[in-house]
Structure 1
Amino acid sequence: MTLRSLLPSRGGPPHVREATTEDAPALAAIHAGAFHRGWDAAEFERLLADRCAHAHVLQLGTRGAPQGFVLSHLVVPEAEILSIALAVPVRGKGYARILLDYHLGRLAFAGGRCSHLEVAADNEPALRLYRRAGYVEVGRRKGYYAGVQGAADALVMRRDF
């Protein structure tokens, strides 16, 4: 499999850049398509304006619309991934790994030494992504996520840089 085979017919190669508050509406739309309870644009503006926020956007090509994002809160030396999501058309193509790897590298460059996150125990695609990126389970929160099909446990995961 080549990188070219992962790309849609238009848009160009994956490009990751720092997110800005101007991205808030697009990030809110992506988030709403990925989670039971999405965050609105105002919430993203607030989160992105926080001095401890580190966020990156995935685009296809340097001028493409955001297709995914990852948002973390970094208080050196610990980072917490608050959210990561991709637009439906680009899921399952390896873009989440590109985005996550870039983001973790930037967190390490900024002084981060470890990263924590919470993920629904039944979210198999996310669990595969995190495990392949070196995260290990360090805890469980029973019934943490309310969902359409009832409550799901949250797995607490950690990765050292």
Structure 2
Amino acid sequence: MSILDRFIHPLSSHVEAVGTESAARLSAIHASAFARAWSTLDFERLLGERGVVADGLFLEPRTQKWTPLLGFIRCSFSLLAHRMRRTRRAASAKTGSTFPPDALGRATKPVAFALSRIVLDEAEIITVAVAPEARGKGHARPLLAHHLDALSRRGVARVHLEVEEGNAPAIALYRRAGFRDVGRREGYYPKADGTKVAALTMALDL
């Protein structure tokens, strides 16, 4: 997605399954959201496990009819971007560095994701995270709804999760989705300052 598109087009979101090709991006999002970050290797191992399901939320500019002026601006911007890419390729040829395309040829990377593990007819939501630039914009709700639907279609009848007791936005998100409190674990989540906070355990029947 170009910088120009971000200004001219309103963004629309869509959710799709992600795999090991997105491990590095999911690791970066996770590190921005949790004190105990998981590495790219951690995600590669998780995503490679049987029964693990992950969905990513992607943002794309909506397709709109361009006016002649906006079309001219976009063409000019595209030409400039093309020249910049050509310069970068020339520089990389001299230094030996490379600029690989996005995995699977996607135009964007996920800005949020949900990851669960299925065992028989139950699933545990292992983690849900949203990138800093996408927070507070209502993206988590459609992501979670899509993810729960994907679990249901795989035969899951009951979903469990744990959430930090002080994470009010996440708790509100899960309760809106129908999750109910079923327990509490003291000192479960480590904080950046070395302290630990309790976790709420929640469940949802699909």
The answer to whether the 8 A contact 1:76-1:113 is kept is: no
Q: Could you give the per-residue CA deviations for residues 68-91 of structure 1, whole angstroms, max 9, x where no partner exists?
A: 110000112100000000001111
TM-score, with length taken from structure 1: 0.91
How many residues align? The count is 155
Residue 10 (structure 1) shift: 5.3
Alignment of 1:1-161 (within 5 A): 12-61=11-60, 63-149=107-193, 150-161=195-206
C-alpha distance in 2 between matches for 1:154 and 1:44: 22
Is 115-124 or 61-70 further displaced after alignment?
A: 61-70
Q: What residue identity is the alignment partner of 2:124?
A: E
Residue 158 (structure 1) shift: 0.2
Q: Structure 1 residues 80 and 9 mapped into 2: Cα distance closer, same or farther (>3 Å)?
A: farther
C-alpha distance in 2 between matches for 1:148 and 1:20: 29
RMSD of the alignment, in Å? 1.6
Q: Structure 1 residues 141 and 68 mapped into 2: Cα distance closer, same or farther (>3 Å)?
A: same
C-alpha distance in 2 between matches for 1:76 and 1:122: 31
Unaligned runs of 5+ in 1: 1-6
Q: Could you give the per-residue CA deviations for residues 23-75 of structure 1, whole angstroms, max 9, x where no partner exists?
A: 00000000000000110000000000001101001110273211011000011
Q: What residue identity is the alignment partner of 2:40?
A: A
Q: Structure 1 residues 127 and 9 mapped into 2: Cα distance closer, same or farther (>3 Å)?
A: farther
**SS across alignment from 2:146:** helix
Residue 20 (structure 1) shift: 1.1
Q: Which has the higher helix share?
A: 2
C-alpha distance in 1 between matches for 2:45 and 2:9: 32
Structure 1 vs Structure 2: percent identity of aligned residues? 45
C-alpha distance in 1 between matches for 2:177 and 2:156: 16
C-alpha distance in 2 between matches for 1:47 and 1:114: 21
Q: Structure 1 residues 71 and 11 mapped into 2: Cα distance closer, same or farther (>3 Å)?
A: farther
C-alpha distance in 1 between matches for 2:162 and 2:7: 30
**SS across alignment from 1:13:** strand
Q: Structure 1 residues 89 and 10 mapped into 2: Cα distance closer, same or farther (>3 Å)?
A: farther
TM-score, with length taken from structure 2: 0.72
Unaligned runs of 5+ in 2: 1-5, 61-105
Q: Could you give the per-residue CA deviations for residues 70-114 of structure 1, whole angstroms, max 9, x where no partner exists?
A: 000011210000000000111111100010000000000000001
Larger radius of gyration, structure 1 or 2? Answer: 2
Q: Which has the higher strand share?
A: 1
